[in-house]
Each structure stands twice: as C-alpha cells, then as structure tokens.
Amino acid sequence: MRFVWAVIAFVLAAALIGAGIAQRTVFLGPDSASTRVEIEEEQPYILVDAEVFRAHTGTQTLEVSGAEQVFVAYGRTADMEAWLSDAPYNHVTLNDAGEAVTESVPAAEPTWEGPEYPGRSPAGSDLWLEEHSAENEFSKRLQLPEGVSVLIASDGHAPAPSEVSIVWPISNATPWVGPLIAAGALLLLLGVILYALGVRHVRRSRGPRRKGTVLPPTEPIAVGRRGRRGAVTAGRPAKEISTAEGPAADDAAADGAAADGAAADGAAAEQPNGSVGAGGAGDSGEPTSSPDDSSSGPRRGGRRTLLALPAMGLTVALLTGCSPDVWPQFTASPTPSPTETVVAPENQQAPAMTDAQAEKIVADVAETVAEADETRDADLAATRLEGIALQMREVNYRIRGEVDDYPAPLAIPGGRVRILLPQAFDEWPRTAMLVVEEDGAENAPPSIMTVSQADPWARYKVSSVASLEASAEIPKLAPWYFGAALVPPDSSFLSIPPSELGAAYADILAKGEKSEFATMFDLESDTFRAAVEEKRAATLAELNKTGEETASLEFQQGPGPGEPTALATLESGAIVAVTVDEVDLVRSTAEGALIKLEGDRPLVALTGEETVPGVKTTYTDQLFFSVPAQGSSEKIRLLGYSSGLRDAEILETEG
C-alpha cells in the first residue's frame, strides 16, 4: 500500500509542478498593451482625451515623434478645451468599442483674420500642470488622473507630430506559481519517503519462514568444532571417532553425520537473518554476509533516495529563481487618520488653480519680478503684475532711476506655497489667494498675495501683495481641491461689505478708538496702525524743526485704488484684500515762502522740483483682513500689510 500512496504523491507532485511552470511559460500573458493614434488631417494641435489614457489601468507611456520639435503638456480637460476654443485641432477620444478615434475639430470662436489659422505657441501657459519640449521624439511615463488630458504640438504653427502612441504595462503576475511548485515539492518529498518505507518493509519480510528439525528428547546435543574445511563435527569426542574401525565405526560415523546435519538445520532455522552460528563462519571465524542478507535493503533504498535529489534540486531552483510575481502579495491596509470633513456645496465648480499649478506659477512670478526689479523694467514686470502691485513697482523703478540707494520694493518669494485658496470657477476671469514662504529665509515673514487670470490665454498676474504678520491667525479655509466662492463687493453676509472695508479702516487710522468702526476691529493686535501713528508723529516733528511757523501739515486717508478681492472661508467669513491711501499735505503758510524738498530725494524725483509752495504725497497700503460673517462675535483682524510711496504732486496754492 505504501507504493500506491507513493505513486499517487508522485503523480500529484508532477501535476502541481507542471501547472506552476506552465503558468510562467505556456499560459503567460502579454506584459503591455498599446494604442496608436491615427492622424488623417494635419492640424497644429492634438488633444488626447483623458479617457484614452485610462483605457487600461496602470501608468502610461506616451511616445511622440514625426516632427522636428515636439511639445507635450497636460492639464485639466476643460482648461485645454478652453485654450483651444479659437483654434482647429485633432481630438482623440474612445469609441463605444474602446478604440481610439481621431476627429478634426474646427475653431469654435475664431479670432484671427485671413483664411488660415496663424498659430500660437502653447509653451508657457499657466493652465498646464506640466509641459515638456524635445527634438524629433519624446517618450515619458505618465500617471494621469481622471479629467486630465494631453496636448501635443510642434511649435503651434507647424503641423503637430504625426506619430503618437500610448503603451500601458499589463500585469502578468502569476501569484499561484510559487504555492503550486512548493506544494508539488512537498508531495514529491512525501512520495520519496513513502517509496523508501515500502522498500524497507519488503526487504524485512523476504527471509526463510520454515521450522527446523525437532531432535529426539533422549539425543544429546553435541558441541561442534571446526574441521579442516570449516565443517562442524558433533557428538562424541574426536578420539572415539578416529579410533573406530570396521563396520561399527562406519555406522557410527554415518549416525554422527546425520546428527550433525540435523543440528546444522536446527541452527539455521533458529537464526534466519544470518546471525553468526554454526554454519555462518568461514575459516577465520568471523561472521559473513550472504547475498540475501536483509541488511542490504536500506542501503539500496538509500541509493534510490539519492536518485530523487536532482528532482528536488530542480524544484528548489525553480522556487529560488521566481520573481515576487509568482507569490501572492499581501499588504496591510493603512489605518486611516481622522480628518476634518468638508462638504462641498452642490453644483460647486472646479478650483481655478491646482497645487501643482500654484507652485509653477509662483516660481515663474518670483523669477520674472526679481529680474524686473533688478533692471527696473516695468514692461517685464507687467507680464506678471497688475493693478496696485504694478503701480507700486513702476513708481519704485522711477525713483530708483534717480536715487541710487532707494530700497527695492517688497520681493515676491518663489518658495513653498503654504496656503492656496483658489476660486471655484470654471470660467474667466479667475482669482486665487496664496501664502508663500521664501526658501532658506527663516526669519523672513511669508507673503500673502492675490493673483488673477483674465482669460485662458493670459498669464496669472499678482494684483496685490503684502507681508503676513507674525501673529496673524488664518481662518479655517477649504482645501485647495474644493476651492472657495468669490464674495461680491457688496455682500451683506459679512460683518461689513468688502467695498466698505477700506473706508472703515481709513476712519480708524484717522480717529483711532474714537472711530465708529473701532468695535468691529481687533485693534490690540493691529501693529500696522501703531506703525502709522509713529510715522505721522515723526513726520510732524521733522516739519516743526524748520517750518513750524511757515508751513502746515495735514494727514488724510481714504480707500485706495482698485476693487477689493474677497474669498470665502469655511465659517462663512472671508479673506479680503483692500487698499488704503494715506495722504500727507504740506503747504506754505507764509506769503512768498516755499517748501524745500532737498532732503527728500524721492519727492524731488517724482515732482521734478526742489522747492515748491506745497506738496501732496500719497502712500498706498495693501492690506489683507479676515472678516467674520454677519452676526459673529469675532472681530475683523489684520492679516498682513505692505506700504509704499505711490505718488507726489505739487500744490500751487494753499487752496
């Protein structure tokens, strides 16, 4: 029965090992799938839809060739379609059968004059999440999320590359190969053991089974001795045998031989396994083994066991050479950490900017503005600045052209975007608010800024920028992937409408705690108001040194230029950016007296005069406030500010 079980184990082992090997050879599937985009009509752009890249799971490898210059960018599908709305292009989508098809799309809103599209370079657009340029061919592994498409072009004027293909890796892992081969190896080992046990059992049961001759009860058993040839004599002493003569002696010898034979047969019957005895020794007296000795059985079984070692070695080699793809992979699921639940409003639109876009935009803005500040190039600054931020730069460049040691404006950092609050809006113009830290500048305060994009083809521009106060407490904001609503200037849902915030704070600068709006603001943490009071006191003291009797100084304040920008917070409040103008009016009070500006070179640079009857100096403050919701017990808090000289003009008369 042991042999039967051994054969069954061998058959099962062969089946399992064969099945495992077959999975990695005969039945192994392909490791990749590919789709080739067929282009029938040449266009300057190719838009490969997001669903094409998600036709298979896993990362995608995009391969593009067929043009001297290759440009590839990817971004949100809606943004790319908006950018291509005034241009013809080839749109690659999936049909109902899951195959990639190409459709030529004409310009939806043509803006050019002439019969043909003049072309536009796609490089440098702020809508792209990432862009790449190469010569002749391009290949890159991508892992695009849902809703992200790819734009392919040459230079925006020449036809787009004609060779486009997408390759996906397909998992051909065979996780049961390892277990199958391992199980087969165990069964093979079990079969070898069962076979060895069967052979051992057969060898033990192969010896003689007959009984020896029973001696007469009166016949003594002689003690034998060895003869010359090793024969055994029994019975009487040797001298009696050797002296016997005649027939009696012959009869006695015959009887003794018969007795000897019977004794020998009895001894053999008592020792079937060949133990040392009367007939089992040679001339030397040592025990000898017969050819049928059962002790040779285990040794032969051992040789058969050694025959199974090559098979076991092959199995071990197969298991050792297998990759992790042949074993089941068990990974522990990460324990989710509790996060604050944010529920987006129904039908809320997508955020105007992603975190990847913000990093790229901020880095480019910082680099461009830094170059403009160094060269005092207002035109270059205008490519990334607008509104009050650009006006302040233009005035600074003008003064620095006349005054060498005049300080440069507040630099725009290009480091990490600590906070991003984009407007949730699919159309244009779009707005976002950012808090940016400068890399490597541990002591420098972060900057808070607002940026806006006028249309799909425009670049994001900074409209206001300020330094964040060290003690500023940013209210709770929605994650960037939700975005926030743009609060209208006349909103009544805030404790004060954004359009009235600048005038209310200007009144506080003028009257302090006596202002009617004082109870609405957190004046204790407002360091900017204290700085304004100190500056005004120093200006008045300087004037009184030389012109107390001949000149007068008056301080005015009011809302600054530009519309406020407000983005909603999670607690129904808003972060509001406004401007406030501080005006210093210096007039001559004595007839014929003039105001000397020799000690104030920035004013000389702006007015072009060193002595004037009067001068009006305007400083503009860019301010960011946290405004609570209507009915909230919280107060309006100042988050950040920046201030600079914006204008100076001559007053001809006292009136």
What confidence tens digit (pLDDT) does each residue in 453-497 have? 999 999 999 999 999 998 899 999 999 999 999 999 999 999 999
| pLDDT of 150 | 96
- Secondary structure (DSSP) of 350-411: PBS--HHHHHHHHHHHHHHHHHHHHHT-HHHHTTTB-HHHHHHHHHHHHHHHH-TTPPPPPP
pLDDT in tens, 6-16: 889 889 989 98
| pLDDT of 248 | 42
| pLDDT of 288 | 45
| pLDDT of 57 | 82
What's the predicted TM-score (pTM) here? 0.74
Residue pair 266/213 in contact (Cβ under 8 Å)? The answer is yes
Question: Which DSSP category does 162 fall into?
Answer: S
Run means of pLDDT, 10 residues per run, the chain, 655 residues = 85 89 80 83 93 86 93 95 94 89 89 84 95 94 90 94 89 80 89 87 72 57 49 44 42 44 42 40 43 46 48 50 59 55 70 94 96 96 97 96 92 93 96 91 87 96 95 93 96 96 97 96 94 94 82 94 96 97 92 82 92 93 97 96 95 66
| pLDDT of 471 | 85
- Percentages helix, strand, coil for the chain, rounded to the nearest 5? 30, 25, 40
Cis peptide before 429 (omega within 30 of 0): yes
| pLDDT of 336 | 57
Distance CA 227, CA 594 (A): 160
For residue 521, give every residue at least 6 positions away whose Cβ sits within 8 Å of its Cβ, in sequence order, or none: 504, 505, 508, 635, 636, 637, 638
- Secondary structure (DSSP) of 538-551: HHHHHHHHHHTTTE
Distance CA 31, CA 173 (A): 9
Q: Which amino acid is at 99?
A: E
